[in-house]
């Protein structure tokens, strides 16, 4: 547990170490072999196994299972592949691995193989079609909700992410109000046929579709010099997975927190700052390097309190890896565990900087805990008014 900063250095992410690592067949085989014979050094770090209480979901067992499938020692069935889906890709195990193994990424190769063997997770049947239909519905919803704040080109664009359009439309309204307040009114929402960068396709085992989708997103963003992104998985996908798949994104991508942190100097707050907790999204902290910017933005308006597990050592809220679809009870339990710490100290406000984390934490928050995404929290703390448009809830969320 870390209270003041990273305790261990993470190994190179996929984008840093060349296009084929850690997905080359040799690298995957080596990592699977290391894990198979490992004395479970990272078992304490996996929030999925901890929240579920299942030994079959510790990283070593999940990797061993995939190794047995790879070597032909087990048959590809729904039952045998179940552990491959018990992962949010949070990368916490990698923090505690002396080999720098990446179970969260290697298990994605197992999911893709499961799909190829005709055994996708039962909850993800027909997922590619569902993803495409959701994209169409949410991009249309964005246009109808904010018709005066859209652009297909410009210096800086704003990418809300699908979960914000679907379940956090008030947060998009808050972001636009903040832009207006701090002199960023030229920043418009990116108008595109896509609402999501495509990470769920990768997590569902549809690598080819992900590559195709990434190419279309890159094309939609071409008119912008820079994009500020409200979703930690979208930023991760664009920054790390697009280049790994050979998709050339010419647009610079940053987190929304990176854009808001310097602008927050222009916001005033009451003399006595409210105390709020900050939850690090695991993809921001352990893949994207977005750790200090949200704290700087929030710190202008509030006293930032830390969770016991924080920064590079943060604990996942359960929203990654499509876990809310494949194992919804476990995913919810992960959020509840995360918030129990705040509840135990009497409750309070928890702020995060990812639309998916905000949704997961909100739906699992006890009455004493208020959850807000960064822009909404900043608007509330600086008394910046905003009004959310009315939208229907997405059913395939
Ligand atoms: S990721 Fe590292 S520590 Fe964890 S089981 Fe594999 S080899 Fe062991
Ligand atoms: S990436 Fe996260 S969820 Fe997946 S095995 Fe590692 S610790 Fe568990």
pLDDT of residue 7: 42
Give per-residue pLDDT as tens, 38-71: 999 999 999 999 999 999 999 999 999 999 999 9
Kindly give the distance from the C-alpha atom of residue 355 to the centroid of ligand 1, in angstroms, as a whole number. Answer: 30
The better pLDDT of the pair 174, 394 is held by 174
Q: How confident is the model at residue 396 (pLDDT cuts 50, 70, 90)?
A: low
Ligand 2 centroid, distance to 90 Cα (angstroms):
5
What is the reported pLDDT for 390?
A: 76
Question: What is residue 392's predicted lDDT score, i.e. its pLDDT?
Answer: 58
In the predicted structure, residue 17 carries a pLDDT above the cut 80:
no
Mean pLDDT, rounded, of the chain: 92
Model's pTM, two decimal places? Answer: 0.92
**C-alpha–C-alpha distance, residues 381 and 375, integer Å:** 10
Buried b vs exposed e over 331-362: b needs ≥16 C-beta within 10 Å? bbbbbbbbbeebeeeeeebbbbbbbbbbbbbb
What are the boundaries of each domain within the chain?
A: 25-119, 127-260, 262-381
pLDDT for the residue 66: 97
> Among 11, 32, 34, 56, which is best to mutate for testing ligand 1, by the most ligand atoms less than 8 A from CB?
34
- For ligand 2, atom 7: residue with the closest CA: 46
Residue 130: is its pLDDT beyond 70?
yes
- Rounded to 10 deg, the angle between the 169-181 and 127-145 helix axes is 40
Asked, colleague to colleague, whether 127-260 and 262-381 share their fold, the answer is: yes
Mean local confidence (pLDDT), 110-130: 96
The per-residue pLDDT for 347 is: 96
SS3 of 350-375: the string is EEECCHHHHHHHHHCCCCCEEEEEHH
User: Which CATH code for domain 127-260?
Assistant: 3.40.50
Strand ranges inside the chain, DSSP E: 150-151, 154-159, 188-190, 224-229, 252-255, 274-278, 302-306, 348-352, 369-373
- C-beta of residue 333 within 8 angstroms of C-beta of residue 210: no
Whether the pLDDT of residue 23 is over 80: the answer is no
User: Could you tell me the pLDDT band of residue 265, with boundaries at 50, 70 and 90?
Assistant: confident
195-247: per-residue pLDDT in tens?
A: 999 999 999 999 999 999 999 999 999 999 999 999 999 999 999 999 999 99
Query: Which is the closest atom of ligand 2 to the Cα of 104?
Result: 1
Contact 325, 120 (CB under 8 A): no
Distance CA 319, CA 360 (A): 6
pLDDT > 90 in the chain, percent: 87
Domain 262-381 in CATH 3.40.50: yes
pLDDT greater at residue 166 or residue 391: 166
Residues 6+ apart with CB under 8 A from 275: 302, 303, 305, 348
Residue 16 has pLDDT above 80, yes or no: no
Res. 393 pLDDT band, cuts 50 70 90: low
Which whole-number Å values give the CA distances from 295 to 71, 222, 378, in the listed order? 46, 30, 11
Higher pLDDT, 129 or 13: 129
Nearest protein Cα to ligand 1, atom 2: 97
Cβ contacts of residue 8 below 8 Å, gap of 6+?
A: 95, 96, 312, 313
The set of protein residues with a Cβ atom below 6 angstroms from ligand 1 is: 34-35, 38, 40-42, 59-60, 63, 93, 97, 99, 101, 103
pLDDT at residue 10 in the model = 45
Flag whether pLDDT at 2 surpasses 80.
Answer: no
Residue nearest to atom 3 of ligand 2 (CA): 87
Q: Which of 46, 83, 93 to mutate to test the pocket of ligand 1 (most atoms within 8 A of CB)?
A: 93
> In ligand 2, which atom is closest to the CA atom of 282?
2
Kindly indicate the confidence band of residue 375, based on its pLDDT and cuts at 50, 70 and 90. Answer: very high
Is the pLDDT score of 18 beyond 60?
A: no
**Which helix (H) or strand (E) covers residue 61, if one does?**
helix 59-70
Q: Among 8, 56, 59, which residue has the most ligand 2 atoms within 8 Å of its CB, making it the best to mutate? A: 59
Residue 392's CB is within 10 A of a number of other CB atoms, namely: 8
d(CA 89, CA 321): 6
DSSP codes, 215-283:
HHHHHHHTTEEEEEES-HHHHHIIIIIHHHTT----SEEEEHHHHHHHHGGG----SSPEEEEEPPPHH
| Torsional class of 214: left (φ above 0), alpha (ψ -120 to 50), beta (otherwise) | alpha
Report the DSSP pairing between strands 274-278 and 252-255: unpaired
Phi, psi (degrees; rounded to nearest 5) at 210: -60, -45
- Point out the ligand 2 atom lying closest to the alpha carbon of residue 42: 7
CA 12 – CA 3 distance, rounded (Å)? 23
Query: Per-residue pLDDT tens for 315-362?
Result: 999 999 999 999 999 999 999 999 999 999 999 999 999 999 999 999
The per-residue pLDDT for 129 is 97
**Gap from CA of 355 to ligand 2 centroid (Å):** 20
Are the beta carbons of 228 and 297 closer than 8 angstroms? no
């Amino acid at each position: 547990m870390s209270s003041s900063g990273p305790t261990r250095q993470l190994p190179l992410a996929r984008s840093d170490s060349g296009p084929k690592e850690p997905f080359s067949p040799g690298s995957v085989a080596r990592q699977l072999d290391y894990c198979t014979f490992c004395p479970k050094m990272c078992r304490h770090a996996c929030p999925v196994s901890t929240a579920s209480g299942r030994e079959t979901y510790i990283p070593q067992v999940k990797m061993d299972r995939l190794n047995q499938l790879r070597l032909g020692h087990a048959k590809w069935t729904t039952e045998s592949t179940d552990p491959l889906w018990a992962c949010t890709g949070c990368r916490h195990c990698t923090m505690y691995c002396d080999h720098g193994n990446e179970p969260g990424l290697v298990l994605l190769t197992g999911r893709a193989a499961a799909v190829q063997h005709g055994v996708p997770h039962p909850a993800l049947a027909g997922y590619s079609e569902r993803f495409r239909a959701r994209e169409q519905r949410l991009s249309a919803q964005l246009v109808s909700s904010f018709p005066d704040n859209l652009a297909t080109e410009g210096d800086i664009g704003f990418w809300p992410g699908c979960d914000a359009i679907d379940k956090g439309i008030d947060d998009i309204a808050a972001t636009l109000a903040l832009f207006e307040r701090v002199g960023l009114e030229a920043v418009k929402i990116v108008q595109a046929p896509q609402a999501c960068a495509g990470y769920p396709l990768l997590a569902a085992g549809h690598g080819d579709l992900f590559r195709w989708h990434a190419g279309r997103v890159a094309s939609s963003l071409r008119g912008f010099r820079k994009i500020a992104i409200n979703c930690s998985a979208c930023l991760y996908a664009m920054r790390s997975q697009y280049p790994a798949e050979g998709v050339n994104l010419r647009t610079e991508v940053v987190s929304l927190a990176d854009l808001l942190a310097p602008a927050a100097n222009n916001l005033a707050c009451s003399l006595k700052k409210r105390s709020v907790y900050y939850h690090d999204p695991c993809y921001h902290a352990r893949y994207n390097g977005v750790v200090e910017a949200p704290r700087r933005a929030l710190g202008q308006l509030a006293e930032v309190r830390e969770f016991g597990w924080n920064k590079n050592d943060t604990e996942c809220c359960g929203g990654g890896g499509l876990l809310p679809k494949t194992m919804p009870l476990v995913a919810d339990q992960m959020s509840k565990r995360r918030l129990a710490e705040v509840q135990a100290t009497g409750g309070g406000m928890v702020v995060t900087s990812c639309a998916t984390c905000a949704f997961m934490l909100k739906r699992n928050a006890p009455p004493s805990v208020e959850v807000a995404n960064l822009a909404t929290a900043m608007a509330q703390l600086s008394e910046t008014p905003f009004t959310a448009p009315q939208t229907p809830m997405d059913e395939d969320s």
